[in-house]
Amino acid sequence: MQTINFYLDSYKPVPLSFDSRFALLSVVLCLFGIMILGWIESSQVDSLQQRLAERKSQLNSQQQQLALVTKKLRDRSQIKGLQSQLNKNQAELASYRKILNLVNTPLYLVSVNFSQILKDLSEQTIDSVWLTKIDIQTQSLSLSGATTKPKSIPDYVDKLKNSDSLKRHFDELKIERNEEKQLVEFQLINGRLTSE
């Protein structure tokens, strides 16, 4: 069996010693690590700044789009206001035209022979068309009627022109289907005498 004497000088622990090379290497490694960390942080900062710039540009774009949409909505509301004013003006113009037509009507047209109109209406008949209401004014004639054949309404209007008392220019023709009675109702509104 072999024994070892730990009290010999060769087995005595040697204290750690740091020479200048190790210190220089440590400093270089520290500086290198600091530089790498700085580079990483600067790249992160650059990336964040780039993202911030992109977000700012997106925000500016969205603000411009919002301004355009707001302007369009404002323009649409102004257009609606102008459209309603235009409709009102057109209605007033139509009423003025009616008044002018009444004023410019010759005096001989004012005297209306009601019996002659009724007689002519009774003579100008067409199959499947009948009148339900006759409104005779000094300046106009309005008729309401019904039919089972809607295609016969234009023929009836054409037949009204066969006599002098019924030669009329009607302002409006209204047609409605009455499903309950299985027929079509019509109105010839404000028929004025024509010079034809």
Last residue of a domain, one of 104, 125, 144: 104
State pLDDT tens for residues 136-194: 887 788 899 999 888 888 888 888 887 777 888 888 888 898 888 889 999 988 888 77
24 and 85 co-located in one domain: yes
Q: Is this structure's pTM higher than 0.85? A: no
Residue indicated by tokens 């992109």: 54
Is residue 184 in some structural domain? Answer: yes
Q: What is the domain count for the chain?
A: 2
Last residue of a domain, one of 104, 136, 158: 104
Nearest to 165 by CA among 122, 129, 133, 132: 122
Q: Are 144 and 125 in contact (CB under 8 A)?
A: no
90 and 47 co-located in one domain: yes
Domain that holds residue 143: 110-193
C-alpha 126/C-alpha 157 separation (Å) is 10
Task: Decide: helix, strand or coil at residue 171.
Answer: strand
Backbone CA torsion sign across 37, 39, 40, 46: positive
Task: Between 5 and 110, name the one with better pLDDT.
Answer: 5
